[in-house]
Amino acid sequence: MATRITQAEMSATQAEATREVVSYDPATGEEVGRVPLFATEDVARAVARARAAQKGWGALGFRERARVLMRARAFVLEEMDEIARLIARESGKPAAEAIAMEIVPTLDLMQFFARKTARLLRPERIDIGLYRFLGRTSTVEYRPLGVVAVISPWNFPWAIPLGEVVMALMAGNAVVLKPSELTPFVALKIGEVLARAGLPAGALEIVTGDGSTGAALTEAGVDKIMFTGSVATGRRVAEAAARKLIPVVLELGGKDPMIVFEDADLEAASSAAVWGAFANSGQACASVERCYVHERVADDFTARVVEKVLALRQAVGTEEGADLGAMSSERQLRTVEEHLREAVARGACVLTGGGRARGLPEGGAFHEPTVLTGVDHSMTIMREETFGPALPVMTFRDEDEAVRLANDSPFGLTASVWTRDIRRGRRVASEIEAGTVMVNEVLYTHGIAQTPWGGVKQSGLGRTHGRLGLLELVAPHHVHVNRLAFLGDVWWFNYTPGAASLFHSLARRFATGSLLQALLLSPQMLRRLRERKGQSSGRKK
């Protein structure tokens, strides 16, 4: 029988008491299933299994690792509809959107990292400047870190963890994945697909549970933590990691601005604003959360936005033709309600939406897509992450004001600039404080495997995706070789007056990086080498 209960009502204490986590369909309130809540000892055992498995997995070549991942990719492609339904059931989003925004990007990411990791992590010869002329070479090899913890949120329950798991595995690490308590079954599906593809047991451990399981993982002696989630939890994870001196990547919240200039293609910009704000019911870290429109085109732009919002179809995510589904949890819906209530109380004007959606399953977490004007930066809806289907629109007078408003935020994940003048777009992009700025685009670059993903300010630390993301998952191993060791080094002991004089010359000439300047040092260097030889032969006698 269907259990009608909101996720917010499922308290952590209840989870602790039953030692299991219950996953609910947020559109219907029905139970999807139950998974174990991993306690500290279970997490420690999972990390130990991963550490044991990493040795064999890390010793395989890139080609063998890629073979496993490409087999898994084939299963994902075959089972795409079933996976999309599962994502829709656990997260509330439309199944079609789960394919477009989660499965397509991961299929692409899997083929990209399976094929390209060997090249991206090829050992590199470093240009060491003048030291080359002293018979030395330096190379950097990229080695696996060991065990990487991936702690992930519920909003992209397939794409976020799978992307990081694939990259970490391709780099030769084992992974312990702690998925969100709201979407554990999607994560278990990732594990199942990879296991069927031949991933050795232990190379990917999935520890289901709530925040206590995540906290246990940060204490379990992993070699790196890849965390995606809220700023508050990110801070806790960073504190735990700092105590253990474990490196951490934090992919946190956003309050991403969209700037629409007077010369923008308003038809395209308004469609982009609607998708950017309401895809996944606005529950994307890179959702358009603030829209700034030039005052000359603001009326035209908002009229188009409202018209397009009215044409959206909201339904249970597994139904065909749904544009918007349910939000992922009742708790998240309440945050949206609070932000809207406060904005309206302070004078904001709701152009469309504004409340819970009607005519949908009772108990489902459906909120109408909402557009509002008359907002300003004193309102929570313009300052804090709303993470829901709300699009506040504000006007600006000129470029400087637009940039100032966009940067007036503690967050800096992505931003979007709309103009037909690409030079202007690039100019404004360079002034915006964000990890990614898109010109005439919104939201989607997490879906590009090759580009770095990550934020500045409170949006996080470090990068995932692209080569920069891959480099987060390896330890650079520098090997330095001296082919002229028999000569000894001029800077070794003893620090005679001749040595001290050479050191002054090194500062003035060698440290310029100029070969010509360094050549002028040759006589002094030779004298010093002879002096050192004399010292050492003197010692031998």
Cα–Cα distance for residue pair 373/438, rounded to 1 Å:
24
191, 214, 364, 466: residue in contact with ligand NAD (rule CB under 6 A): 214
Neighbouring residues of 193: CB distance < 8 A, sequence distance ≥ 6:
72, 75, 76, 79
Q: Does 143 bind ligand NAD (CB under 6 A)?
A: no
- HSE-CB at 280 with a 13 A cutoff on CA atoms is 26
Minimum separation from the CB atom of position 329 to ligand NAD (A): 8
What are the phi and psi torsion angles at 14 (to 5°)?
A: -60, -40
Stretch of 10-18, 63-71, 230-238, 521-529 contacting ligand NAD, by CB under 6 A: 230-238
Q: Does 211 bind ligand NAD (CB under 6 A)?
A: yes
Binding mask 428-467 for ligand NAD (x = CB under 6 A): ---------------------------x----x-------
Residues binding ligand NAD: number (CB under 6 A):
31
User: Quick one: 215 or 291, whose CB is closer to ligand NAD?
Assistant: 215
Stretch of 27-35, 150-158, 258-266, 496-504 contacting ligand NAD, by CB under 6 A: 150-158
92, 157, 254, 325: residue in contact with ligand NAD (rule CB under 6 A): 254
Cα–Cα distance for residue pair 468/369, rounded to 1 Å:
36
Q: Does 229 bind ligand NAD (CB under 6 A)?
A: yes
What b/e string do you get for 202-223 counting C-beta neighbours within 10 Å, with b at 16 or more?
Answer: bbbbbbbbbbbbbbbbbbbebb
Cα–Cα distance for residue pair 198/193, rounded to 1 Å:
9
Cα–Cα distance for residue pair 216/220, rounded to 1 Å:
6
Minimum separation from the CB atom of position 227 to ligand NAD (A): 7
Q: Does 252 bind ligand NAD (CB under 6 A)?
A: yes
Q: What are the angstrom distances between the C-alpha of 34 and each of 37, 327, 368?
A: 9, 20, 30
Of 90, 164, 205, 285, the active-site residue reads: 285
Dihedral (CA of 278, 282, 284, 287) sign: positive
Give 199's DSSP letter. P
42, 210, 330, 472: residue in contact with ligand NAD (rule CB under 6 A): 210
291 is annotated as an active-site residue: no
Pairing verdict, β 136-144 and 147-151:
unpaired
Q: Is 483 left (phi over 0), alpha (psi -120 to 50) or beta?
A: alpha
Cα–Cα distance for residue pair 196/191, rounded to 1 Å:
9
Minimum separation from the CB atom of position 384 to ligand NAD (A): 10
Q: Looking at beta carbons, which residue is closest to ligand NAD?
A: 214
Minimum separation from the CB atom of position 239 to ligand NAD (A): 9
Neighbouring residues of 111: CB distance < 8 A, sequence distance ≥ 6:
70, 73
Q: Which amino acid is at 248?
A: V
Task: Return the residues of window 49-78 that contact ligand NAD according to CB under 6 A.
Answer: none
User: Quick one: 156 or 185, whose CB is closer to ligand NAD?
Assistant: 156
What are the phi and psi torsion angles at 435 (to 5°)?
A: -70, -35
Minimum separation from the CB atom of position 287 to ligand NAD (A): 8
Chain-centroid distance of CA 489 in Å reads 45
Residue 278, H or E segment: helix 266-278
User: Quick one: 172 or 229, whose CB is closer to ligand NAD?
Assistant: 229
413, 417, 473, 490: residue in contact with ligand NAD (rule CB under 6 A): 413
Q: Are 536 and 496 spatial neighbours (Cβ–Cβ below 8 Å)?
A: no
342 is annotated as an active-site residue: no
98, 151, 322, 490: residue in contact with ligand NAD (rule CB under 6 A): 151
65, 73, 178, 463: residue in contact with ligand NAD (rule CB under 6 A): 178
**N-terminal to C-terminal alpha carbon distance within the chain:** 95
Of 251, 289, 368, 385, the active-site residue reads: 251
Minimum separation from the CB atom of position 353 to ligand NAD (A): 21
Binding mask 284-323 for ligand NAD (x = CB under 6 A): -x--------------------------------------
Number of Cβ atoms within 10 Å of the Cβ of 29: 20
Number of Cβ atoms within 10 Å of the Cβ of 6: 17
Task: Return the residues of window 367-406 that contact ligand NAD according to CB under 6 A.
Answer: 385, 387
User: Quick one: 58 or 234, whose CB is closer to ligand NAD?
Assistant: 234
Minimum separation from the CB atom of position 247 to ligand NAD (A): 15
25, 90, 205, 251: residue in contact with ligand NAD (rule CB under 6 A): 251
User: Quick one: 175 or 264, whose CB is closer to ligand NAD?
Assistant: 175
Write 60-64 long-range contacts (CB < 8 A, 24+). Answer: 60/172, 62/117, 62/118, 62/121, 62/170, 63/118
Q: Which token pair is 53? A: 């498995």
Cα–Cα distance for residue pair 11/14, rounded to 1 Å:
5
Minimum separation from the CB atom of position 206 to ligand NAD (A): 12
Binding mask 88-127 for ligand NAD (x = CB under 6 A): ----------------------------------------
Minimum separation from the CB atom of position 12 to ligand NAD (A): 10
Minimum separation from the CB atom of position 225 to ligand NAD (A): 8
Pairing verdict, β 224-228 and 147-151:
parallel
Nearest partner of 502 among 533, 536, 526, 472, judged by Cα: 526
Chain residues in the site for ligand NAD (CB under 6 A): 151-156, 160, 178, 180-181, 210-211, 214-215, 218, 228-230, 233, 236-237, 251-254, 285, 385, 387, 413, 455, 460
Residues involved in catalysis: 251, 285
